[in-house]
Structure 1
Amino acid sequence: MFIDLSAVTQRLRRMSSEELDVSGSYQNFLLDLILEGKQTLGVEHVSVWLFDDISAPKKLINVASTNWQQDLSEDEYPELLCEHFPSYFKAITTGISIDANDATIDPRTCEFKESYLDVYNITTMLDTVIFKNGIPHGVVCFEGTGETRCWQGAEIAYAEMMADCCSRRLLVNDLWCLQQQLTELAFQDALTGLKNRRYLMDYAHREISRHIRSGQQLSVVMLDIDHFKLINDSYGHEVGDVVLKAFAQRCQQALRTEDCLCRLGGEEFIALLPNTPTEGAMEVAERLRRDVEMHIIESGTHYIQVTVSCGVGEVSLAKPFSQSLKEADRAVYSAKAKGRNCVVMY
């Protein structure tokens, strides 16, 4: 088969320059490339496989395929164990392309004969390595049926360019995932794992807009652990951290999935309750107060009981959320003034 390397290279370059959403599955952002490769090389099947661990690979995982009728979840990805196909994996990890004209007798691919080649009538294979930081990361596998095939230099060069295009998209996906992780960390309280004040302000802005459109009420519950400084002074800050984490977990379990619990800082927490009137918010706050009071927190040889003062109110949809925070804070101070371990509505 003759291919015009210049023409197909230009097509690949144009495809690589197009803006693409890499936030989805591998199949989603690699499919157009491997379909292009299937058509250009005239093969029956093209697939992408990645090593499970680039530094110490034990298996290849099939992450994209032209044969899939629908996207697969990660736990459905087919796998190849290195120990079952030692010659093939040794060849792949050298980084050199495998151009198996007759895959059934080529020493690098004949290991697949009974388990795969004969089953799917595969006669010829061209596998090109995907690199990551100069290290083999996976492979793009081109498979043909029918008569055996003598792979030409231009075809091998094209397949290697296809692997490089996949490599670039995988790198962009890695960068996107890293950005998501950094964003998550920026909005997360490191100690409790809850969202932080920064996230709360952004989330509240979105929820206020949504509640204006829906006409529903949005309520807030501010929680302040009573005498927390005394806990730190009596038992130490490490025990204080244990108390904060246990408190956050207890409150999280008592709330609905759609409720947003955040740590404002120190021993102050806040729960934003969508589609909830103040009467319902009062019930939620009272339930939280009782649950916290009944729960004994264990830390080493210490058994600590804490209580919480709560300020409850409806979020004003016509004012900045910071105003509702101030009012909830004043309600918490009123609860403290009344003897703590109680709920006050502003």
Structure 2
Amino acid sequence: MIYLDNAATTMKKPDCVVEAVARALTTMGNASRGAHSGSLAASRVDLACRQKAARLFGCWRPDHVCFASNSTEALNIALMGILNEGDHAISTDLEHNSVLRPLYRLQAERGLQVDFVPADRLGMIDYDDFERLIKPNTRLIVANHASNVTGNLVDVARIGKIAHEHDLIFVVDASQTAGCVPIDMQAMGIDVLCFTGHKGLYGPQGTGGLCVGKGVEIRPWKVGGTGVQSYSKAQPADYPTRLEAGTLNSHGLAGLSAAFDFVEDIGVTAISHHERILMQRFYEGVHNVDGVKVYGDITLEDGRERTAIVSINIRDYDSGAVSDALAEGYGIATRPGAHCAPRMHQALGTVDQGVVRFSFSYFNTAAEVDAAIAAVREIAG
């Protein structure tokens, strides 16, 4: 199989990640639940993973890295734990349902007011719209770092500056950028960074978390066992325990910790460069093919940064049919449809057809890209 669905999950993992998980399954107990070697081994892995995440993302303290099962859970924790009755939040049309559905739920349950910065036909936003949408009761801005449909990067540092000028909390969904685009929370003005382990970090599914900035208070989304302060009726107030009720996925975190090592050893810039070359090679091979339409703002000549995603349609063919043809006829894995990003597809005008998303990883090769180009040309012909 030629696997080009890395924006959903990176199926190919570094050997060190696989080995770390396998080793953890036979050597680790439950972190913070005892003083025996198995429990202590899990605690050490969890702490090391926090330290590596804080270093990679520029989080001010490792104990403010709180683990979750993925970005969706991390975003729910952040949004549900920050926004109050009658608050106003600002987001964008670029968002995944992991942002949209918590906001819609808060609209229904807490009377949250929400405005969305609109996207144009290229899936781009006007940053001045953030200023125009701010109200007296605005509490928070939440935005993704890159679209999972087009791959276009969002200037989060610019949004962070706007947010802090108005004393707002800035939450970033880094699902598509963690591990493959440089992130520095403090330099970019990010108050809460939500990430997942199974995409650009090359870690296991079921891992991720949120990095909480200085002075940010988040109410616990769930409460329960923590291994500490067992006689307290309330969830412990200190991070990270405040947001980590229940047994952690330490076996998965062992893999994520190894994945952080892999990313750090190769370098985020080197990973991004390799993926970008593959993305550009594919784009150059298909964008002029008769009947092929490419979505998003793929401006490559000026060195503009973006993630390694190219989304296309072929003539008026249903995106699901094209993706199925690629899988069955050519052994190429892609992702068709709406990509859990309904507002983006409304902006792009692709609600009915969807798009076929090709997304590349560090483990893909030029030969695989050329095979995908040939397949697209054959289907379009």
The TM-score normalised by the length of structure 1 is 0.23
Q: Which structure has greater helix proportion?
A: 1
Which has the larger Rg? Answer: 1
The TM-score normalised by the length of structure 2 is 0.21
Whose relative contact order is higher, 1 or 2, with alpha carbons under 8 Å and at least 6 apart? 2
